A and B are shown apart, each in its own frame.
Chain A
């Protein structure tokens, strides 16, 4: 019969009108993200040994690392990710031996100003070498005959 399809179509939209809405009210509620979501990075600066593997693994040269030697150890003084060039491939996270660099679930990295875009994880002065520790380390080294590296602080 002529017009049957029209009525059918109206019926579809009528049902849809009363159906549950799929919209997620974004800032208030969010979709659940998969556990391995490639979101914002997180650096555990205490675990980082400033080895530079992540910077080497990065295809885009996003990661900039600066370190100083303190008491015969590399001390991380600066860790900056120019996130505007990042493609979130996850090579850096895979490369990290210490599990210091991780992905988080957070995805909102937009900023009002361009200068705020880079993620600055560490930007600090290296501590002055403590002569006492230095001597002690030297003693340790002598006793262990330069076998093992001294245990890291905070680990």
Chain B
């Protein structure tokens, strides 16, 4: 019952529309809209919660208790913050490219929303079951760089420009080891379909059979999300806030929430690719699969925050040097070793 609760709800709506005599095409359209709304609500509520969680984790790691005044245990803190930001003016500085400047915060939520449509939240729980899901996710995820660039360029501010150029150089140098690390997983599974990748981890998660790939992927994911220690793009001591410098009010809030949506994607992908997705470990199948996915995702998110409040920021040359001189060769070696291992396995006849 609990396992299939969301699928049951979807089927119930479909049957309701079918019995009301709605044509099949419209039925599908309505179903797609319902799924999309569910995903948007999921992302927004999680983004709000994650801002709160981030502040709480930060506080706890610094012997503080974090926000605790607005609402019970400070739970309404982010809601209040967003309410404040909505009510504030969006200041448009002189000389900015007005259209692009206002377009960037609107577009920033498009890549995360698109990606979430293919992520399997549970058994048979994905909005679209795409054959090239993995490829799709990373193709779309790279698009957010473009939007940071739009925001930084249109701001007509040297700090914004520097910040967005850093985003691009970071993305170019970390997308490569990320993809190369994933090749090991793809070689083993032989498919780009996310559900098949999860099902291939039934006996052992890929974190066990591909530990190097997991490490490289995780480091690259942190860098892709522009999180500490790789948050050069907004390094506040050097370039104020990078592309966000000129944004105020809800424009800034959109960038801020999108950052957390990106973290959710990175941790969801880590879960899917290396932590067995919605598969229950140790045969604990009485807990529904979507809850397992959620728990694993949040464990990864916690590690993200843990890293953020432990490490200092790296320099740009250290970042690029690490990406090209350490991660890329390491991921290439991983592919090589994986290939040899697969060959040996096949030769042994397992």
The residues of A with any CB-CB pair to B shorter than 8 Å are: 6, 9-10, 12-14, 16-17, 19-23, 25
Chain B, residues 59-85, CB within 8 Å of chain A (1/0): the string is: 111111100100000000000000000
| Contact of A23 (CB < 8 Å), options: B65, B309, B310 | B65
Provide the bound-state CA to CA distance between A14 and B65, in Å.
15
Q: Write the chain A residue with the least CB distance to B303.
A: A10
Provide the bound-state CA to CA distance between A14 and B302, in Å.
11
Q: A21-B65, A23-B65 are in contact. Are A12 and B310 (CB under 8 A)?
A: yes
Among residues 184 to 235 in chain B, which have CB atoms less than 8 Å away from a CB atom of chain A?
none
Main secondary structure of the interface of B (DSSP, over half): loop
When the two chains form their complex, are residues A21 and B311 in contact, meaning their CB atoms are under 8 A apart? no
By Cβ-Cβ distance, the 8 closest A-B pairs, closest first, are: A13-B310, A13-B61, A22-B63, A9-B310, A17-B60, A21-B65, A23-B65, A23-B64
When the two chains form their complex, are residues B311 and A6 in contact, meaning their CB atoms are under 8 A apart? yes
13 A-B pairs with C-beta separation under 8 A: A10-B310, A13-B310, A16-B60, A16-B63, A17-B57, A17-B61, A17-B306, A19-B63, A21-B60, A21-B65, A22-B64, A23-B64, A25-B68
Provide the bound-state CA to CA distance between A12 and B60, in Å.
12
- For the complex formed, measure the closest distance between the CB of A15 and the CB atoms of chain B, giving whole angstroms: 9
Inter-chain contacts of B64 with A (CB < 8 A): 21-23
Inter-chain contacts of B57 with A (CB < 8 A): 17
The residues of B with any CB-CB pair to A shorter than 8 Å are: 57, 59-65, 68, 306-307, 309-311
Inter-chain contacts of A17 with B (CB < 8 A): 57, 60-61, 306
Inter-chain contacts of A6 with B (CB < 8 A): 311
- For the complex formed, measure the closest distance between the CB of A12 and the CB atoms of chain B, giving whole angstroms: 7
When the two chains form their complex, are residues B306 and A13 in contact, meaning their CB atoms are under 8 A apart? yes
Inter-chain contacts of B60 with A (CB < 8 A): 16-17, 21
Inter-chain contacts of B310 with A (CB < 8 A): 9-10, 12-13
Q: A9-B310, A9-B311, A10-B306 are in contact. Are A16 and B65 (CB under 8 A)?
A: no
- For the complex formed, measure the closest distance between the CB of A28 and the CB atoms of chain B, giving whole angstroms: 11
Provide the bound-state CA to CA distance between A61 and B274, in Å.
73
Inter-chain contacts of B306 with A (CB < 8 A): 10, 13-14, 17
Provide the bound-state CA to CA distance between A13 and B306, in Å.
7
Provide the bound-state CA to CA distance between A25 and B69, in Å.
10
Inter-chain contacts of A20 with B (CB < 8 A): 63
Q: Write the chain A residue with the least CB distance to B61.
A: A13
Inter-chain contacts of A13 with B (CB < 8 A): 61, 306, 309-310
Known A6-B311, A17-B61, A21-B60; 17 more pairs at CB < 8 Å: A9-B311, A10-B307, A13-B61, A13-B309, A13-B310, A16-B60, A16-B61, A17-B60, A19-B63, A20-B63, A21-B59, A21-B63, A21-B65, A23-B63, A23-B64, A23-B65, A25-B68
- For the complex formed, measure the closest distance between the CB of A50 and the CB atoms of chain B, giving whole angstroms: 46
- For the complex formed, measure the closest distance between the CB of B202 and the CB atoms of chain A, giving whole angstroms: 31
Provide the bound-state CA to CA distance between A87 and B61, in Å.
37
- For the complex formed, measure the closest distance between the CB of A10 and the CB atoms of chain B, giving whole angstroms: 5
Provide the bound-state CA to CA distance between A54 and B69, in Å.
42
Inter-chain contacts of B62 with A (CB < 8 A): 16
- For the complex formed, measure the closest distance between the CB of B56 and the CB atoms of chain A, giving whole angstroms: 10
Inter-chain contacts of B61 with A (CB < 8 A): 13, 16-17
- For the complex formed, measure the closest distance between the CB of A26 and the CB atoms of chain B, giving whole angstroms: 10
- For the complex formed, measure the closest distance between the CB of B248 and the CB atoms of chain A, giving whole angstroms: 29
Provide the bound-state CA to CA distance between A17 and B65, in Å.
10
- For the complex formed, measure the closest distance between the CB of B250 and the CB atoms of chain A, giving whole angstroms: 31
Inter-chain contacts of B65 with A (CB < 8 A): 21, 23
- For the complex formed, measure the closest distance between the CB of B177 and the CB atoms of chain A, giving whole angstroms: 16
- For the complex formed, measure the closest distance between the CB of B35 and the CB atoms of chain A, giving whole angstroms: 37
Q: Write the chain B residue with the least CB distance to A19.
A: B63
